[in-house]
Amino acid sequence: MKTLFTFCILGFVSIDVFSNENLAIWPIQNSDPGKGIIYQPGDYIGEKYNYGNLIIAAPQNSSIISPESGTIITKSYGYLFSLSFSSTFTTNYSDSEDDKEFRIKLAEKHNEQNKEFVDFQFINYRLGIKTDNGDVIYIRGIINPEKYITGQRIEKGDLIGKIGYSYYKIPQPSIIISRSIDSKAADPMGMFGLQTTFVKYKSEQIHSDDKLSPDKLTADFSIFKESLEEGHPGLYDYISKDSLDFIFTYTQKILSETKTVGEFYDLLSRIVLSIHDCHTNISNPFDGKQCKLTSHPPVLLGVQSNDLLVIRAMPEYLSLVGKRVRNVDNVPAKNIIPKIRKTINSRTDGFIQSEIDLVMFNFFWIYYDSYVHKNFGDTLKIDFYDGRSQDFIYSYNSLRDYVPKYRRNTSPGKGSVEMRFINDTLPLIDINSFHLTETDMLNIVTFIKKISDNNYNNLIIDLRNNGGGNSNNLFSYLATKPYQINSTSKVNKTDTYDFFKYTDNYFGVSGLFIDYTEKKDDGYYSPVSESKYIIPNDSVNYNGNLYVLVNSFSKSASANFAGLVKKNNRGLIIGRETGGAYYQLNAVKFANLILPNSKIKVRIPLVKVINDLDKVPGIPWGRGVIPDIKISLTIDEFTKEEDVFLEAAIKKIHDYSKTKSNDIGNKSKISEKLIFIIPAIIILIVILWIIKKYATQHSSKGKASF
């Protein structure tokens, strides 16, 4: 009774208002709204509480139709182990394959490799539809699905498939419908015009200034430390075990006094940053962004190519923007720059420098103010190289008032993919994210086929600000020889992890990596067969000149793609060092750890993917993909409407092509000259041979006459 009462206080009945003309249609074809409901939100299925699912029963093989119009965003086969955990099968389903036979095959493969037995009857198809209203509807329990692809448009009333069995604890044929808004569970009933039973959970609010006792701090810290040690496969790749243990010990000591959640979060954040892994993330549980009023001088300083200069200023000091700085507070800039650089911990992999360069350019002034403890009313003295000196007072200036204005969004394109022709001879594929739908990939492949068929000599692929995803074998349409995506992968354990009990996505899960069978001293590795060579696509393949644009925000899959281009000598990398490491990354599967007292969330990667075991000249260990042609940071890149980076890249491509053509031309001229020189040399050799032979014969006759 106490638990139920607490839940009711923390929650409230969710009411979404739908007009009659906007109502969704019932997903069972030719059936009235509400008919067949066997479980609704708030019910218990066995001992498990059903939070946000609407479960509808109907005769097997009844037709299922789309409740709303929208776009297919996800589709997969899976098995529901509990109402909160399912297993998704990654095996591809062929359009020509029988649905039942395919589900039997999935069950057999799973049962061979895992402890938990699954019945193929309860393996089913799940479809996610992002509606025109922006919410997402998920339908599980489908068999014999229609052949949709992600990114495809679907209309209200379109056939989805037939009804099968949704969950092994529900004996009758059924589907499970759930709904989300902004990735949070939402009412699945109101959209059909039904009286809802959905109660929206309202979690306990955590504030940054909430205090935690030493006991609670120590308990959360122990879970944090032990979870990283047990689960993270690359914990000591970029920091030694001794160094990390020292940080752990030091942090443990200072938790002997009461601290706020915000202070504890800051301590854990520093540890996460020290690991140097861009896939290990920490997020705060605060009820809102904690804002603190800060003061700034009227000129802001940044570092460009080892020079300190004014990058932005209040309008009255606009004339100072771009001026080089000799001294700050009577200290030479050349002495300050390396000190501030050491204080910056980037959120990239390993020892990558490009993001630090970016921070030094845009935010040097923040780190300097913190380093020297500048506050409101303090003075900043600057000596410029032109001989001018001036004092500037710290005040509460709004950053929106500084000039030149920064553009809000510096991403080069719109959406995930954009394909266009920069001019008549230069096509470009702009990929802002590798979270691509099947429709996106189809469009990319169609574009590649077009430029290949029309013999375009050059192609630019723009991966700036691409944080990753899955490149979906894009390289196979560009490769000129068989290639490996990675060499091997590694995990710490093959069975369950003890810390999973503190996660919200792997609680009770075991046998996650049972196929990692090769045991070594540092963990378990995937079989060699998993790292097989991929053959270039034989129907669509572009073999012209390839140029890939990258910057410090090109991470994960986009860094891997650039690495494939580099490793296989397929093209030129242009821009700046990628934010993802070349040799390896920690990714694929992630455990979402939630610390019980502070509610701080930590995402821990469970798989280390090793891309290349061989040392590549020009790429030190722990660094990203180093560009063949570098583009320097300038203020114009962040302030001008035109794409300054792309313009610089096009110019460098033109210069490179011209140089390459000249080299070919020079070689051609040499070849032309050799056409005449070589025969002349041969004739000369023959003449000399004849002369020598004649002289030898004449000498022999002379000796015979004596």
pLDDT, one tens digit per residue, over 400-424 is 899 998 765 444 444 579 999 999 8
Segment 297-307, tens digit of pLDDT:
999 999 998 99
DSSP-H helix ranges across 232-350: 241-253, 261-275, 333-342
Beta bridge partners of 418: 430
Question: CA angle at residue 357 from 304 to 463, to 5 degrees?
Answer: 110
Q: Which amino acid would we find at residue 549?
A: L
d(CA 118, CA 133): 36
Reduce the DSSP state of residue 176 to 3 states and report it: strand
Q: What is the mean pLDDT of the chain?
A: 86
Q: Confidence band (pLDDT; 50, 70, 90) for 100? A: very high
Residue 249, pLDDT score: 96
Element (H or E) spanning 139, and its range?
Answer: strand 136-143
Q: What pLDDT is recorded for position 92?
A: 60
Q: Are 77 and 164 in contact (CB under 8 A)?
A: no
534 in Cβ contact with 473 (< 8 Å): yes
Which range in 503-517, 584-598, 638-652 is most confidently predicted, on average pLDDT? Answer: 584-598
Please compute the mean of the pLDDT values over residues 132-150 and round it to a whole number.
Answer: 93
- DSSP letters along 421-441, please? EEETTEEEEEES-B---HHHH
Which residue is listed with tokens 């929106």?
400
The residue with tokens 């800039």 is 333
Using CA atoms, how far apart are residues 382 and 309, in angstroms rounded to an integer? Answer: 10
The pair of structure tokens assigned to 515 is 């196929």
What is the value of pTM for the model shown? 0.81
Q: How far apart are CA 683 and CA 387, in angstroms?
A: 72
Sign of CA dihedral 312, 316, 319, 323: negative
Q: What is the pLDDT of residue 507?
A: 76
Q: Which of 586, 531, 569, 576 is nearest to 551 (CA)?
A: 576
For residue 486, give the nearest of 363, 599, 617, 583 by alpha carbon: 583
CA distance 223 to 228: 9
Position 688 pLDDT exceeds 50? yes
What is the average per-residue pLDDT within 142-147?
93
Residues 162, 58: Cα–Cα separation, whole Å: 10
Indicate the pairing of strand 545-550 with strand 572-575.
Answer: parallel
| Separation CA 75–CA 437 (nearest Å) | 10
Q: What is the mean pLDDT of residues 564-576?
A: 94
The CB density around residue 194, as the number of other CB atoms within 10 Å, is: 18
Kindly state the tokens that stand for 440.
């996106």
Which residues are CB-neighbours of 51 under 8 A, at least 6 positions away?
41, 83, 185, 201
Higher local confidence (pLDDT), 223 or 206:
223
Helix axes 261-275, 241-253, angle to 10 degrees: 170
Residue 672 pLDDT: 56
H-type helices in 239-316, by residue range? 241-253, 261-275
User: Is residue 11's pLDDT more than 60?
Assistant: no
Q: What is the mean pLDDT of residues 300-317?
A: 94
Judged against a pLDDT cut of 60, whether residue 701 lies above it is answered with no
Pairing of strands 629-630, 572-575: parallel
Question: At residue 704, does pLDDT exceed 50?
Answer: no
Tokens of 188: 């699945």
Percent of the chain with pLDDT over 90: 64
pLDDT of residue 665: 43
Q: Which amino acid is at 102?
A: F
Higher pLDDT, 325 or 484: 325
pLDDT at 2 exceeding the cut of 60? no
Percent of the chain, pLDDT > 70? Answer: 88
The per-residue pLDDT for 597 is: 94
- Please state whether 415 falls in left (phi above 0), alpha (psi between -120 and 50) or beta: left
Go through the domains of the chain in sequence order and give each one's CATH number. 2-201 (2.70.70.10), 299-395 (2.30.42), 410-483+535-582+619-681 (3.90.226.10)
What average pLDDT does range 347-370 have in this prediction?
Answer: 92
Which pLDDT tens digit goes with each residue over 36-94?
Answer: 999 999 999 988 889 899 999 999 999 999 999 999 999 999 998 888 777 777 656 56
Q: Hey, what are 329's tokens?
A: 């507070």
- What are the DSSP E strand ranges found in 405-536? 417-423, 426-431, 458-462, 488-491, 518-520, 523-525
Strand order in the sheet with 379-384: 331-332, 325-328, 379-384, 389-393
What's the pLDDT at 402? 93
Average pLDDT of the residues in 464-487: 90
User: E strand or H helix at 73, and its extent?
Assistant: strand 70-82
- What is the per-residue pLDDT across 602-630, written as a single tens digit (0 to 9) for each? 999 999 999 988 888 889 999 999 999 99
